[in-house]
Structure 1
Amino acid sequence: MHPIVIIGSGMAGYTVAREFRKLSPEQELVMICADDAVNYAKPTLSNAFAGNKAPEQIALGDSAKMATQLNMRIEAETWVKEIKAESHELILEKNGETITQPYSKLVLAVGANPIRLAIAGDGSDDIHVVNSLIDYRAFRENLAKRKDKRVVILGAGLIGCEFANDLLHSDYDVTVIDLAPQPLGRLLPNHVAEAFQTNLEQAGIKFALSTTVEKVTKINDGEDYAVTLANGQTLVADIVLSAIGLQPNTALAKSADIQTSRGIITNTLLETNQPDIYAVGDCAEVNGTLLPFVMPIMQQARALAKTLSGQSTAVHYPAMPVAVKTPAAPLTVLPAPLDVDVNWETEEFDDGMIAKAADAAGTLRGFVLLGATAGKQRLTLTKLVPDLIPAQI
Structure 2
Amino acid sequence: RVQITQKIKKGVVFLPMHWGKTLKSDFRRANNLTNEKYDPISKEPGYKFSAVQVARYKKAKQKLILVGAGAAAYRFINTYRELNEVDEIHVFSKEEHPFYNRVLLPEYVNEQLDWSALLKFKNDEFEQLNVYLHQATSIEKIDRVAKTVVDSKGNTHTYDKLILATGSRAFLPPGVPVHLPGIFTLRSRKNADELKRYLQGKKQVVIVGGGLLGLELAGALRETNLEVTIVQLASRLMQRQLDPLASKLLLEIIEDMGVQVFLNDEVKDITTTNNANQLVAHLKSGKPIHCEALVYAIGTRPNVELAKAVDVQCGKGVLVNDYLQTNDPDIFAIGEIAEHRQKLSGITAAAEAQANVLANYLSGDLGSSYQGTILMNILKLAQIDLCTLGISEVPNGAKGYEEIILLDQSKYYYKKCIVYQDKLVGAILMGDKAEFAEFKSLIEEGTELSEKRMELLRSGVNLTPVIGELLCACSNVGVGNIQQAIENNGPDFQAICQQTGAGQGCGTCKSEVKNLVESYKIELLKKG
TM score, norm. by length of structure 1: 0.88
CA 290–229 in structure 1, closer or farther in 2 if over 3 Å, else same: same
- Decide which moves more: 246-255 or 211-220: 211-220
Question: C-alpha separation between the residues in 2 aligned to 1:192 and 1:206?
Answer: 18
Contact 1:224/1:238, CA 8 A, preserved across alignment: yes
Q: Which one-letter code corresponds to 1:332 in the other structure?
A: C
Question: C-alpha separation between the residues in 2 aligned to 1:387 and 1:269?
Answer: 20
Identity rate, percent = 23
Counterpart of 2:49 in structure 1 is: none
Contact 1:38/1:61, CA 8 A, preserved across alignment: no
CA 67–334 in structure 1, closer or farther in 2 if over 3 Å, else same: closer
Structure 1 position 220, deviation (Å): 5.7
Q: Which one-letter code corresponds to 1:279 in the other structure?
A: A
CA 121–351 in structure 1, closer or farther in 2 if over 3 Å, else same: closer
Question: C-alpha separation between the residues in 2 aligned to 1:6 and 1:242?
Answer: 29
Question: C-alpha separation between the residues in 2 aligned to 1:85 and 1:125?
Answer: 42
Equivalent position to 2:80, from 20, 31, 46 = 20
Contact 1:122/1:217, CA 8 A, preserved across alignment: no
CA 175–119 in structure 1, closer or farther in 2 if over 3 Å, else same: farther
| 2:206 equivalent to 1:152 | yes
Contact 1:319/1:387, CA 8 A, preserved across alignment: no
Structure 1 position 277, deviation (Å): 1.0
Counterpart of 2:412 in structure 1 is: 351
Contact 2:278/2:290, CA 8 A, preserved across alignment: yes
| 2:267 equivalent to 1:213 | yes
| 2:296 equivalent to 1:236 | no
Structure 1 position 100, deviation (Å): 1.9
Contact 2:67/2:165, CA 8 A, preserved across alignment: yes
Structure 1 position 221, deviation (Å): 2.6
CA 120–271 in structure 1, closer or farther in 2 if over 3 Å, else same: closer
1:23-42 aligned at under 5 Å gives the runs: 23-42=83-102
| 2:381 equivalent to 1:326 | yes
Question: C-alpha separation between the residues in 1 aligned to 2:176 and 2:346?
Answer: 30
| 2:288 equivalent to 1:227 | no
Instruction: Say which one has the larger Rg.
Output: 2
SS at match of 2:262: strand
Structure 1 position 276, deviation (Å): 1.4
- Decide which moves more: 157-166 or 286-295: 286-295
Equivalent position to 2:334, from 267, 273, 280 = 280
TM score, norm. by length of structure 2: 0.67
Question: C-alpha separation between the residues in 2 aligned to 1:249 and 1:120?
Answer: 20
Counterpart of 2:198 in structure 1 is: 142
Structure 1 position 46, deviation (Å): 2.6
Structure 1 position 346, deviation (Å): 2.9
CA 100–380 in structure 1, closer or farther in 2 if over 3 Å, else same: closer
Q: Which one-letter code corresponds to 1:92 in the other structure?
A: D
Counterpart of 2:127 in structure 1 is: 68
1:84-95 aligned at under 5 Å gives the runs: 84-94=143-153
CA 102–124 in structure 1, closer or farther in 2 if over 3 Å, else same: same
Question: C-alpha separation between the residues in 1 aligned to 2:326 and 2:177?
Answer: 42
Q: Which one-letter code corresponds to 1:234 in the other structure?
A: P
| 2:183 equivalent to 1:127 | yes
Structure 2: give runs of 5+ residues left out of the alignment: 1-60, 447-528
Question: C-alpha separation between the residues in 2 aligned to 1:47 and 1:316?
Answer: 33
Higher share in strand? 1
Structure 1 position 371, deviation (Å): 1.2
Structure 1 position 386, deviation (Å): 4.2
SS at match of 2:381: coil
Question: C-alpha separation between the residues in 2 aligned to 1:37 and 1:148?
Answer: 27
Contact 1:16/1:305, CA 8 A, preserved across alignment: yes
Counterpart of 2:390 in structure 1 is: 335
Equivalent position to 1:203, from 244, 257, 267 = 257
Aligned CA-pair RMSD = 2.6
Q: Which one-letter code corresponds to 2:316 in the other structure?
A: R
